[in-house]
Structure 1
């Protein structure tokens, strides 16, 4: 699970959704575009909800790990829709620096 921090709000969602949101935000910024995204999220009481956010070139989106891994749910359709939308900007791969934790310096 991850937290999406956006405009003073904290959205609890799955790892794949958070990653797709930030990759889409990068693609939108690169294309100087904006979009409204309905993010599948977990409410404070543990139920599923949707949080709409506006992502544009000036959006400040931060993703942080969360401890609530037992609430992780699959959101493959949402993730594929965002990644397909990002590809419309001409990017075949997700937009991000190579910052995976499992990489080591050689």
Structure 2
């Protein structure tokens, strides 16, 4: 086996893996679309009804029962990061804070 046939077979393997990945993504997309989209389109009158005004009747009422609940959150303080550098800050650049 010479060097050219080894690289050719490796290239063919890469192309085969890419084609399998593309086919897998296509199959997953088809399944997701089939699962989430309706099988039949909506009736003719269903579209355009969002523009129509919708009226409702307002009535006054009360809740029959209320439950007072209280929640307490306890979250331990955890350091986000540790300083990996050692030393002391001896000076910083001057910062202009006044605005005109």
Normalising to structure 1: TM-score of the pair? 0.19
Task: Work out which of the two has the higher radius of gyration on C-alpha atoms and give 1 or 2.
Answer: 2
Name the structure where helix makes up a greater proportion of residues: 2
Name the structure where strand makes up a greater proportion of residues: 1
Normalising to structure 2: TM-score of the pair? 0.20
Higher RCO by CA contacts (8 Å cutoff, separation 6 or greater):
1
